[in-house]
Structure 1
Amino acid sequence: MLAQPAFGHRLRALRLERGLSQAALAAGGLSTGYLSRLESGARPPTARVVEHLAERLGVPVSAFDAAHEPQSLAQVLASVTSAEETGDPGEALADALRADDRVNPALSWQAMWLLARIRGGQGRHDEELQLLHELVALSDSLGSPELRARSRTELSRCVQALGDNTRARDYAHEAYSLSPDLSTADRAGALQALVSAEAEAGRLAEARAHADELCEVTEQAGGTLFIKALWASATVRIRQGDYLGAQEALERALLGLDSRGDLQLWMRLRLAAASLYLQITPPLTDRAAARLDEVGPVLDLVGTDLHQQQLLTLRAHLAFEEGRIEQARELVERIGEVGELLLSFRDRIRFQALRSQLLILDGQVEEGNTALRTLATQAQEALNVELAAEIWKILATTLYSKA
């Protein structure tokens, strides 16, 4: 059996894994004070107490043997960060964080940061959101301007993906306010989040000004920072109807990034480029198709479930724009079979709008009409005026073509 304080650490980890309070575990045989002293390592356990605790926890007595001692958070973090990118390392990190006693706040911050990034990449934004709120609080307690800015930047991106543009802008502005004396990367990250939140909220003049500032801040540094700045600039310009400027920024970004430099960004940029090409009036379907054909084989090898959903929805939009209605319908049905949609708020609204358009074309006019009106209302409630206007336009155009 483990000696103290290892026994106490193991006992606390087992209790927390089961969501039990000290009072709940102690009920029926022990005092809360005695259990607390066991967990802190201040008291050695007796054989009878170990048997009682094992029964209460639903584990064998051998769970308190040295062979069953869990890895520390530091060990799990080292293992995850050094491993090849296979499987889901997030589960091991989540388990370690649940058992962590927060003795080392900086280490806890690093683990939570990594886990939040993993969950965000998987499209599990509700879990990501909870972690990022904890990160903001922990950053404030640590008092580090860098960590405070970074946690708020990521929180802005997360709540925007969930459709809350007001809070996204607030968090991004907080990060931006903290960033003047920080590194170019931190300032660029805050600016990029701010540009995105402002654009989604329809504050296009502010978004354009901050996008220009972002390009100025990152141009000298170059690399992926400048690529992301050009991407942000292209997005804002499309919302403003500056299609020529958007194409120039987008092509410059695409040409400036090699897949060997940052494969994840290379994939994301091509998916984003295809989406933006389809949002230009009239849609540049040939260019969108070229980018999807380019990135598709790579996503089949290394893409996440989120990437695959993004690819399928963009192929469905492309098929619809090219008049291949039956293929668009088949793709929409495939997406509906995958289970939970992992798409961002904007992508999810646009996908559901496409599905509603197909309903109208299939003769289910009332159902499709109602669905589009609901989507437009959701976009308006999210203060996404530009997206709401797009949905109303889709409704009018589809009904006119059906008449």
Structure 2
Amino acid sequence: MDARQADLLRKLDPIELGQRLRAARVAKGMTQTDLAGADVSVGYVSRIEAGHRRPNLQVLTDLCVRLGTPVEQLLMGVAPQELEQIKLNLDFAELALESGQAASAELQARDALDMAVAASLKELAYRSRFLLARALEAQGMVDDAIIELEGLLSPRVGNVLQIKVGIALSRCYRESGDFSKAVEVGEMMLEHLADTPLDGTDEAVQLAVTLAYAYHTRGDVSQAVRVCRRAVAKAETLDSSVGRASAYWNASILEAARGSVRDAIPLAERALKLLSEGQDARNLANLRTALGMMQLRMDPPQISEAQENLKLAAEEYQWCSASPADIGRNELAQARAHFLAGDVETAEVMSRHVHESIKVLSPLTAADAKSLEGQVHAAQGDIEAAARSYHEAVFALTGLGSDREAAELWFELAGLLEDVNEFDAARHAYRSAAAASGVQSRPRATTRKLSEELR
């Protein structure tokens, strides 16, 4: 007996099975008497078709032999060759994503989704929608990806794919600037994973570090550190390089955010070594980019080492499901490395390209690119051009939500604006930095009102 077929038969609604059996019989031009043969009664066939009886697998197999129809077709509502075609489309979509061919992945996922929905194959339709969302994200259509993922999010987590949905949705919320939603999804998923077998999977660790990064981006650094430490402890118990790498990577990012770049780099290198043993190209490339950015923040900067990591990451991005935001951050880091190395012309060209390619998708990165462009102009002695670039960066930042990265860039811009004698704009930037970090000024009376109250 085929255990898989027996399991499918046990789970299948008898009414749906009966409808499929009757449709197959009518299509073959057979009567219930023809189908019953010498093995079962006509009444039993009638009760199966009415959904009143669930035959055992042997009886169903005998009926299918007389029908000339594969058992799988009655159990799954689709012919075996159609089922294989759906699975093949999904495999191709996944391969296209990992190869950086997001548009092709989208087409394959949509074709698979149409076929899976038509055949009422819920699990394959779910996987199709997940891959479609990933393909949309990889093409920069983050809002469209969020819509797809929100429809897949389940309050109860029953398999690994559902965890991956939560990870992707939290990541997309974060990329779109909705940090509270990113945290909310991560917290909900972790709560439902607690004390279940799925809590000990790589995906559970990756979910935890995704949540920690969402906390960090929102500015809740202490909470991010706590979540990350728990993730590291959990990862150490798993025999998985991916799980441990994810935890070390996030710990590295948080150490860098706290100003401990020298402590962050060994953690990042440890994660890089672990990820290099696997095949997760996107995470590997993201880690190389993060490591390169940290090396540029060293005093003095490790420019050649950073350039090597950033170059390798850029190559890996060409063959994986990297999003435009990933690629933009990498290119901007390369531009900054060129600037620190004294190649200001290349830095200017690259920073402009980043700004133009990502200004709609990621205003924060675009603002950072304009800030670097201004520094290039200042280094070239063109103070007016530097001031214009800084003001464009301010414009790009205005309206963004409150988070740590925005606050850091506002603070950097304030100092740069002071350097070019734009003191009013610098004061505005300092106030914006305080607002983005959540700092609020206390109410105070004016000098005149205070003197009147004292009299």
The normalised TM-score by structure 1 is 0.70
Contact 2:137 2:172 (8 Å CA) reproduced? yes
Alpha-carbon distance in structure 1 between the residues aligned to 2:107 and 2:256: 39
- Distance in 2, Cα, partners of 1:234 & 1:344: 23
Q: How does 1:17-96 map to 2 (within 5 A)?
A: 75-81=85-91, 85=96, 87=101, 88-96=104-112
Residue in 2 that maps onto 1:393: 411
Residue in 2 that maps onto 1:374: 395
SS of residue in 1 equivalent to 2:384: coil
Please, which runs of 5 or more residues in structure 2 have no aligned partner? Answer: 1-22, 25-80, 422-455
Change (3 A) 1:165 1:359: farther
Q: Which amino acid aligns with 1:179?
A: L
Does 2:126 match 1:109?
yes
Q: Which of 162, 169, 183 is the aligned partner of 2:199?
A: 183
Note if 1:314 corresponds to 2:328: no
Secondary structure of the structure 1 residue equivalent to 2:275: coil
Of all paired residues, the percent bearing the same amino acid is 21
> Is 1:249 paired with 2:270?
no
- Work out the CA distance in 2 between the residues paired with 1:143 and 1:290: 40
Structure 1 residue 325 corresponds to structure 2 residue 313: no
> Hey, what's the Cα distance between the residues in 2 that align with 1:353 and 1:120?
26
Aligned to 1:192: 209
Aligned-partner Cα distance in 2 for 1:343–1:282: 32
Q: In 1, Cα distance between the equivalents of 2:329 and 2:277? A: 19
Structure 1's consecutive aligned runs of 4 or more residues displaced over 4 angstroms after TM superposition are: 71-74, 145-149, 279-283, 296-305, 339-346, 356-362
Task: State the AA in 1 paired with 2:216.
Answer: A
Question: Which amino acid is 2:260 matched to?
Answer: D
Distance 2:183 2:216 in 1: 10
User: Which AA in structure 1 matches 2:172?
Assistant: C
User: Where do 5+ consecutive residues of structure 1 fail to align?
Assistant: 7-70
Does structure 1 residue 129 correspond to structure 2 residue 138?
no
Whether the 8 Å contact between 2:366 and 2:393 is mirrored in structure 1 is: no
**Cα shift at 1:155:** 1.0
Query: CA 1:378–1:227 in structure 2 vs 1: closer, same or farther (change >3 Å)?
Result: farther
CA contact (8 A) 1:172 1:190 kept: yes
Query: Which amino acid is 1:92 matched to?
Result: Q
Alpha-carbon distance in 2 for matches of 1:370, 1:203: 29
Q: Is the 8 A contact 1:376 1:389 kept in 2?
A: no
What is the CA–CA distance in structure 2 between the aligned matches of 1:76 and 1:286, rounded to whole Å? 47
Following TM superposition, by how much is the alpha carbon of 1:230 offset from its aligned partner in structure 2, in angstroms?
0.7
Q: Which amino acid aligns with 1:133?
A: E
- Give the superposition deviation at 1:325: 2.2
Q: Are 1:160 and 2:174 matched, yes or no?
A: yes
Distance 1:393 1:285 in 2: 24
- CA 1:73–1:353 in structure 2 vs 1: closer, same or farther (change >3 Å)? farther
Give, in whole Å, the separation in 1 of the partners of 2:253 and 2:342: 25
Cα pair distance change 1:279/1:162, threshold 3 Å:
farther
Does the 8 A contact of 2:374 with 2:387 survive in 1? no
Distance 1:301 1:152, change over 3 A: closer
CA contact (8 A) 1:166 1:201 kept: yes
| Residue of structure 1 in register with 2:438 after alignment | none
1: distance between equivalents of 2:353 and 2:398?
Answer: 26
Alignment correspondent of 2:75: none
What corresponds to 2:384 in structure 1? Answer: 363
Alignment deviations for residues 219-241 of structure 1 (CA, whole Å, 9 cap, x no partner): 23240111111110111111111
Q: 1:95 Cα deviation (Å)?
A: 4.2
Task: Tell me, in whole angstroms, the C-alpha distance in 2 between the residues paired with 1:366 and 1:401.
Answer: 9
Which residue identity does 2:215 align to in structure 1? E
Separation of aligned partners in 2, 1:259 and 1:143: 29
| CA shift digits 1:197-233 (9 cap, x unpaired) | 1000111011011111111110232401111111101
| d(CA) in 1 for partners of 2:252, 2:333 | 18
1:275 corresponds to 2:293: yes
Alpha carbons of 1:340 and 1:371: their partners in 2 closer, same or farther (altered >3 Å)? closer
Q: Which has the larger radius of gyration?
A: 2
* Contact 2:355–2:367 under 8 Å retained in 1: no
- Cα RMSD (Å) of the superposition? 3.4
Q: Is the 8 A contact 2:289 2:330 kept in 1?
A: yes
Q: Deviations over 1:260-295 (max 9, x none)?
A: 644343322212211233345664433312312444
